[in-house]
Amino acid sequence: MKERIETLFAAGAAANRDDARAAFAELRAALGTGDVRSAEPDAASPTGWRVNTWVKQGILLGFRFGDLVEMSEGLPFYDKDTMPLLRPGTSAGVRIVPGGSSVRAGAFLAKSVICMPPMYINIGAYVGEGTLIDSHALVGSCAQVGQRVHVSAAAQLGGVIEPVGAMPVIIEDDVLVGGNTGIYEGAVIKRRAVIAAGTVLTGSTPVYDLPNERIIKPEAGQPLVIPEGAVVVPGARRVSVGAGAEWGLSLATPVIVKYRDDRTDTRTELEAWIR
């Protein structure tokens, strides 16, 4: 499959349409079962993750060679015919609560995932067992979400399809993503971290680590990595130069105020009551 997709992608618009659609359909099915992932754990990588570029190329084939069709079910929707909605069925063990949620086929939802309405999960995303995707939350294209994660209301996990070699957003196991949080540009959130409500993290965001008295910045060519167990909250730092200093301005910046302990775990265990 990898070789077929790479060859078709390299051909661009000149690729055989039927072959491209067939290759994408095979890829979409493999993504939906979790057998193929757009990014996967890799102990040899500095971030602990490896991007599967060919998977993103295959997803782009689906967009390029799809036809716009009507997908109305009560309300008018129009999308590529290669991108239907996921219908996992009761045997999948996934709860998609009524109220306007959508999951594209080609996303993987493990057993015991809960989707609260309205929320959206895009193609190529991977959501592990026991994870809760809350109301108005977004899991973008190719984002990887681990087990027992809580993606709180209005949280945004950005999608990264292009450039195809770029790391998607990664949320590892047992992470709490607070409400109205934004995580974009391939940031990697390591296991057991807590991202407090209203925090915004991007691939170029410096994070101030108070317990370790350091500033965490992405290394050249690598995404931002939030350490295991870090508790990150929204902060501000004073502008010290130019008119900003004169006007008393501050810039928003995320701050690690502590690392997760038993007290933090006790608070997050309260989520189990809604599952």
Looking at residue 267, what is its pLDDT? 58
Q: How many domains does the chain divide into?
A: 1
With a pLDDT cut of 70, the percent of the chain lying above it is: 96
Partner residues linked to 39 by β-bridges:
51
**pLDDT classification of 203: cutoffs 50, 70, 90:** confident
Residue 81 lies in a domain: no
Q: At how many degrees (to 10) do helices 53-64 and 17-33 cross?
A: 130
Residues ≥6 apart with Cβ < 8 Å to 192: 173, 174, 175, 228, 229, 260
Residue 59 lies in a domain: no
Which of 138-147, 156-165, 189-198, 257-266 shows the lowest per-residue confidence on average (mean pLDDT)?
Answer: 257-266
CA Rg value for the chain:
20
Residue 41 lies in a domain: no
Looking at residue 72, what is its pLDDT? 78
Residues ≥6 apart with Cβ < 8 Å to 169: 140, 143, 144, 157, 158, 159, 160, 183, 184, 185, 186, 187, 188
Domain assignment of residue 121, given as a range: 95-274
Residue 47 lies in a domain: no
Q: For residue 163, is the peptide bond before it cis, meaning its omega torsion is within 30 degrees of 0?
A: yes
Residue 63 lies in a domain: no
| Nearest CA-CA partner of 49 in 269, 193, 174, 222 | 222
Looking at residue 269, what is its pLDDT? 55
- Tell me phi and psi for residue 242, to 5 degrees: 60, -155
Q: How far apart are CA 33 and CA 240, in angstroms?
A: 52
For residue 247, give the 3-state DSSP assignment.
helix
Residue 223 lies in a domain: yes
Partner residues linked to 85 by β-bridges:
104
Looking at residue 261, what is its pLDDT? 82
**pLDDT classification of 268: cutoffs 50, 70, 90:** low
Looking at residue 75, what is its pLDDT? 74
Looking at residue 169, what is its pLDDT? 95
Q: Are 208 and 234 in contact (CB under 8 A)?
A: no
CATH number (domain holding residue 226)? 2.160.10.10
**pLDDT classification of 272: cutoffs 50, 70, 90:** low
Give the sign of the dihedral formed by CA 45, CA 196, CA 236, CA 203: positive
Per-residue CA distances from 49 to 31, 171, 174 (Å): 17, 11, 17
* pLDDT tens per residue, range 185-195: 889 999 999 99
**Torsional class of 90: left (φ above 0), alpha (ψ -120 to 50), beta (otherwise):** alpha
* pLDDT tens per residue, range 66-115: 999 988 777 788 999 999 999 999 999 999 999 989 999 999 999 999 99
Which of 131-135, 158-162, 210-214 shows the lowest per-residue confidence on average (mean pLDDT)?
Answer: 158-162
Q: How far apart are CA 88 and CA 93, in angstroms?
A: 8
Residue 46 lies in a domain: no
Residue 10 lies in a domain: no
Q: Compute the average pLDDT of residues 3-16.
A: 96
**pLDDT classification of 273: cutoffs 50, 70, 90:** very low
Q: Compute the average pLDDT of residues 41-60.
A: 94
